[in-house]
């Protein structure tokens, strides 16, 4: 062996051993002797301590919550951290049934100002929200009391959430705010149809969010898209039960930011109150913009209102219908949408009288009505869509 190689080899072996040792030390198991977490007990403090150590590490770190069921009163895991962190949740975290026992009234588990987060492991965040749903009136009371969201991601970048379930949240399951380049893969939302105000994933003021190969069933919108959302891609998502996939509602508050670059493709929506939807409030306090929105290759299975733009969205008579919406909608396409409608109006495009929709395309739409309230029909208002390969009954059959 070459003399020079002989002199380098021991150093290489030493560095390899050091590297292996460091790799081991970068794993933080919340049930280890260092942190003391135990199944069937509250691991809020062990989990928070593990986060503090991992966030301070200059090496990529992994926090492990092994299989089992653990109580968790909540925490917000804050960055910035010195290196990427993976949280591998293999078990189930349970929130207190009583929301007043949470560490924060509006958040159960939060992630804030983190770059390079991975949340994985096949585990479950169980919000135990059945009691809270009966107390939640946010669907009709804009001044309602805050109720905890299962998972908040605030100003998180370059991150991935995969093979994770959120179950029975007290409020929204996931809220994404101010995030950039975040992916949800093989993500599951599970809650019954009667769960009130439990949007699956709500996105606002974020860019580059991707939701793929996921199953979302809940009591409200499977995915709700708020103001300031840009370059959102949703593919291979199954939605139902719930209220469908919605942009909005928009136009209710001052200084809302534009929504643009929304691509919903190759999804299945079944047994929901709505299909794919854009909704804005009349009497908007300020102008808004929705543009470059595309719904394509969608299967509808017993869906109410499969295709809908509603610029007269006014639940519980909380607004003035006589004043048209100031949200401008343009460059929207609905393509290759097929299946069954549980309501007789298969397509409803009701736009603002003050700002009519522009460049709306309807193409390759084939829907059948499963009920007994007459033949399937459609409605258009304040819009002149481009229509291609759509049956006459669905091609703006009625207008006003």
Over residues 259-307, the pLDDT tens digits come to 999 999 999 999 999 999 999 999 989 899 999 999 999 999 999 999 9
Element (H, E) at 111: strand 107-112
299 contacts 268 by C-beta, under 8 angstroms: yes
Q: Would you call 243 a catalytic residue per the annotation?
A: yes
Give the span between the Cα atoms of 1 and 339, in whole angstroms. Answer: 72
DSSP 274: -
pLDDT at position 315, please? Answer: 86
pLDDT at position 146, please? Answer: 76
Q: Give the domain extent around 124.
A: 3-399
Structure tokens at 396: 């703006």
pLDDT at position 142, please? Answer: 66
The one catalytic residue in 202, 243, 294, 382 is 243
242 contacts 272 by C-beta, under 8 angstroms: yes
Q: How far is the CA of 32 from the CAs of 91, 251, 346, in angstroms?
A: 15, 50, 57
Tokens 């593919």 appear where? 235
Give the span between the Cα atoms of 102 and 41, in whole angstroms. Answer: 15
Instruction: Compute and round to an integer the Cα radius of gyration of the chain.
Output: 24
Give the span between the Cα atoms of 397 and 387, in whole angstroms. Answer: 12
Rounded to the nearest 5 degrees, what angle is found at the Cα of 283, between the Cα atoms of 277 and 288?
A: 60
pTM for the whole structure: 0.92
Q: How far is the CA of 202 from the CAs of 91, 177, 227, in angstroms?
A: 25, 9, 11
Phi, psi (deg, nearest 5) at residue 197: 60, 40
pLDDT at position 324, please? Answer: 95
Q: Residue 323 belongs to a domain with what CATH number?
A: 2.160.20.10
pLDDT at position 43, please? Answer: 98
349 contacts 305 by C-beta, under 8 angstroms: no
In 3-state terms, what secondary structure has residue 310?
A: strand
Which residue stretches of the chain have pLDDT < 50? 1-25
pLDDT at position 138, please? Answer: 67
pLDDT at position 374, please? Answer: 87
Give the span between the Cα atoms of 138 and 269, in whole angstroms. Answer: 25
Q: Give pLDDT tens digits for 55-105.
A: 999 999 999 999 999 999 999 999 999 999 999 999 999 999 999 999 999
pLDDT at position 91, please? Answer: 98
Percentages helix, strand, coil for the chain, rounded to the nearest 5?
10, 45, 40
Percent of the chain with pLDDT over 90: 86
pLDDT at position 286, please? Answer: 87
- How many C-beta atoms surround the C-beta of residue 2 within 10 A? 8
Number of separate domains in the chain? 1
pLDDT at position 400, please? Answer: 53
Give the span between the Cα atoms of 249 and 225, in whole angstroms. Answer: 8
């Amino acid at each position: 062996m070459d003399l020079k190689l002989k002199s380098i080899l021991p150093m290489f072996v030493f560095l390899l051993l050091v590297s292996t040792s460091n790799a081991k030390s970068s794993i933080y198991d919340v049930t280890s002797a260092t942190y003391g977490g135990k199944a069937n007990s509250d691991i809020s403090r062990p989990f928070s301590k593990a986060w503090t150590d991992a966030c301070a590490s200059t090496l990529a770190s992994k926090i492990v919550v092994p299989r089992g069921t653990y109580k968790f009163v909540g925490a917000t895991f804050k960055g910035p951290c010195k290196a990427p962190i993976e949280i591998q949740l293999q078990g189930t975290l349970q929130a207190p049934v009583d929301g007043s026992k949470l560490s924060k009234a509006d958040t159960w588990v939060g992630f804030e100002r983190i770059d390079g987060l991975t949340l994985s492991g096949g585990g479950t965040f169980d919000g135990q929200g059945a009691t809270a749903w009966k107390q939640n009136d946010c669907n009709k009371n804009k001044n309602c009391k805050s109720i905890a969201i299962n998972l908040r991601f605030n100003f998180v970048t370059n991150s991935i959430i995969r093979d994770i379930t959120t179950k029975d949240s007290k409020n929204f399951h996931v809220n994404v705010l101010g995030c950039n380049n975040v992916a949800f893969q093989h993500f599951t939302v599970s809650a019954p149809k009667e769960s009130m105000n439990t949007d699956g994933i709500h996105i606002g003021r974020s860019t580059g969010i991707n939701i793929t190969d996921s199953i979302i069933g809940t009591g409200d919108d499977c995915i709700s898209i708020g103001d300031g959302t840009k370059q959102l891609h949703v593919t291979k998502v199954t939605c139902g039960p719930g209220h469908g996939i919605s942009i909005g509602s928009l136009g209710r508050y001052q200084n809302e930011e534009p929504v643009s670059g929304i691509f919903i493709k190759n999804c299945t929506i079944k047994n929901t109150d709505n299909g794919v939807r854009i909704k804005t409030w009349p009497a908007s306090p300020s102008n808004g913009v929705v543009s470059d929105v595309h719904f394509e290759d969608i299967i509808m299975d017993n869906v109410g209102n499969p295709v809908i733009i509603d610029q007269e969205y006014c639940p519980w008579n909380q607004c003035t219908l006589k004043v048209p919406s100031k949200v401008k909608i343009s460059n929207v396409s609905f393509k290759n949408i097929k299946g069954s409608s549980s309501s007789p109006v298969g397509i409803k495009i009701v736009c603002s009288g003050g700002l009519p929709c522009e460049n709306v395309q309807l193409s390759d739409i084939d829907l059948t009505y499963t009920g007994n309230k007459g033949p399937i029909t459609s409605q258009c208002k304040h819009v002149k869509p481009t229509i291609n390969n759509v049956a006459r009954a669905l091609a703006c059959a009625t207008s006003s």
